[in-house]
Structure 1
Amino acid sequence: DYDGAVEFLKKVPFGAAVYVAVAGDGKYQGSILTRNETGLVVPVQHLKDNWYAVETNHDNWLPDPPTDPRRSRAEECIARHGQKDGDVATFGVVVDCISERPVLNDGTIYTAVMSPRNGELWGRVRYDAAEAVDPEASSVKDILL
């Protein structure tokens, strides 16, 4: 269940610092967890005051760095689509917004969207991403293959 998943992800040891987006199939069942290897860095941010949340590789309580506007651009895309019938962003809206540049950038290697409501899963693996960032990174590309 959603609450159990959030509690588990708050406490389980991780191998690295990470942002975890958790969604349930009920209204306002959405949270962003900001983690390090041993636990939470900040309290869980529950989705109660907004109908969507966006997380990138930067702390979401700080403004986007000028060199990486992905979060603000994703928020603009979601706002452009708008909220439909009081529901959260649809699966198609999320896929559309994360597929737009600069949200999708040359360093994006793997992207996934999952729906707890209907079990839908969409994923994209970019085998050329390592070369786009560093043309000499053929070993990274080989690992991804």
Structure 2
Amino acid sequence: MVGSAVLLLGLVPVVLCQAEFAPPTVNISLDVDPEVRWMPLLEVFDVDYLKKAAAEVIDSTVPKWVHHAVEPVVMALEKYVPQPYAGEIRGMASYMGGSLSDVIILNFAYEITAFCTSIVAQDKNGHVYHGRNLDYPHPVLRNLTVNIIFLKNGEVAYRGTSFAGYVGLWTGQSPNKFTVSGDQRGYNSNILFQLAGEGDFQDAVIRLSKIPIITGVYYIVGGVRAGEGAVITRDRVGPADIWPLDPVNGGWYRVETNFDHWLPPPSWDHRREAANKALNATGQDNINMDTLYQASVDQSTPITVYTTTMSAAAPERYNTLVRPQVITLCLKCICLHSQFLS
């Protein structure tokens, strides 16, 4: 028997992918005290892992001097952070075993590095669908993604997708009323459902357009009836633009990334172009929850953490999948062994 080995030298790209997966779901009761409201997180997340992951996000995002700058906020939390969120932050710091300042900084860190794509679309029958990608340059967030069902008097008040340790929502729906997502337009500090209120689509659009906020943001809102979809481009004090669906004139979908829709995006950002191409290829006749998900995936990036599809008129179909992490390796050599019988 004679053995031989062949050594191939060179750089060979190898792509390793995880499979997409559904995040865990927790129920959060709005009827309990804010300081214990988020304790159900501990049923699905290990405390030590949460602390380690939070430290990783903070250290890779927030400069050390910010830790000192946030001290006045810690000393007068209720002055800077409205209730019930101040109580929720205090509670998280308590049962996660971390400092109050770190939990506050973690919430800031989640906001200042977000990149997003949101799509609202209407099919030929007037059904409105809403999709979104949330992009972050922190791979660890894939393991912190969580679906949250908020209960009021035992009923579902709203639901959404967030990250463990964050008290707000960037993505969510009020069943049979509206869906909403927020896309970064500069630095954001927004609790979507506090801002949107508890009314219907029109109420949500009016409130999200007018309420004063810290800085600019894009709100993407979908409703339950034909024509109920819009992108709201916000300045601090009011709307810079409201871009509604216009299916009669061909505007059956709207795509928003992180740049004003009436201006061309930067040359290095192709998400809008990719989304438009995917949606035009799908066509209004074929748009639904499944094809919207595929269109969202088609313009996802290597830092896309999760993709959500939802429809306020079909709240039970709310769906979030954590996107695969893609790792590219360059191998300097591959040894191929072959044996020959003699």
Q: Give the TM-score category using the shorter length.
A: 0.7 to 0.9
Whether the aligned pair in 2 keeps the contact of 1:24 and 1:116 (CA below 8 Å) is: yes
What pairs with 1:76-91 in structure 2 (closer than 5 Å)?
76-84=277-285, 89-91=287-289
1: CA distance, partners of 2:313 / 2:244? 18
Q: 1:53 aligns with which of 246, 254, 269?
A: 254
Larger Rg: 2
Shift of 1:51: 0.7
- Count of aligned residue pairs for this structure pair: 125
Structure 1 unmatched ranges of 5 or more: 133-145
1: CA distance, partners of 2:239 / 2:306? 24
Question: TM-score scaled by structure 1?
Answer: 0.73
**Structure 1 outlier segments of 4+, above 4 Å:** 125-129
Change in Cα spacing, 1:107 to 1:116, as seen in structure 2 (3 Å) is same
For 2:229, the equivalent position in structure 1 comes to: 30
2: CA distance, partners of 1:59 / 1:27? 25
Q: Percent identity of the aligned residues? A: 31
Shift of 1:52: 0.7
Q: Normalized per residue, which structure has more strand?
A: 2
Whether the aligned pair in 2 keeps the contact of 1:13 and 1:37 (CA below 8 Å) is: yes
Shift of 1:15: 4.1
Shift of 1:126: 5.7
* Greater relative contact order (Cα < 8 A, sep 6+): 2
* Cα-to-partner distance string for 1:86-136 (whole Å, 9 max, x where unaligned): xxx311122111112xx211333444322111012222446969x99xxxx
1: CA distance, partners of 2:321 / 2:294? 13
Q: Which moved more, 1:72-81 or 1:109-118?
A: 109-118
For 2:320, the equivalent position in structure 1 comes to: 123
Structure 2 unmatched ranges of 5 or more: 1-199, 329-342
RMSD over equivalenced CA pairs, Å:
2.5
What pairs with 1:1-145 in structure 2 (closer than 5 Å)?
1-42=200-241, 44-48=242-246, 49=249, 50-84=251-285, 89-100=287-298, 103-119=299-315, 120-125=317-322
Q: Normalized per residue, which structure has more helix?
A: 2
